[in-house]
Amino acid sequence: MANIIAVVLTQRVRENASIDWTIKESVRAKLKVIVKRTLRQFGDPLDMQMLATETVLK
């Protein structure tokens, strides 16, 4: 399940044209929204949000 979520997160981040990649805060803010929505879709608890966000940023 974690692999599927990672693939979906990666696709959504790449497809999000509103992310300003030159501003780190913009990337973090948009990524948090994408992670929250994706985790909710897969029924995962929102307490995984911080870990998922940090993992994708790395």
- Residue 44 covered by a domain: yes
- Residue 25 covered by a domain: yes
Report if pTM > 0.85.
no
pLDDT value, residue 11 = 85
Helix (H, G, I), strand (E, B) or coil at 45: coil
- Residue 15 covered by a domain: no
pLDDT value, residue 12 = 85
- Residue 46 covered by a domain: yes
- Residue 13 covered by a domain: no
Nearest to 40 by CA among 56, 30, 52, 22: 52
Summarised one tens digit per residue, pLDDT across range 1-55 is 667 777 788 788 788 777 777 787 877 788 888 888 888 888 776 667 677 767 7
pLDDT value, residue 2 = 67
pLDDT value, residue 18 = 75
- Residue 14 covered by a domain: no
Give me the number of domains the chain comprises.
1
- Residue 11 covered by a domain: no
Structural domain range at position 42: 2-6+21-57
- Residue 29 covered by a domain: yes
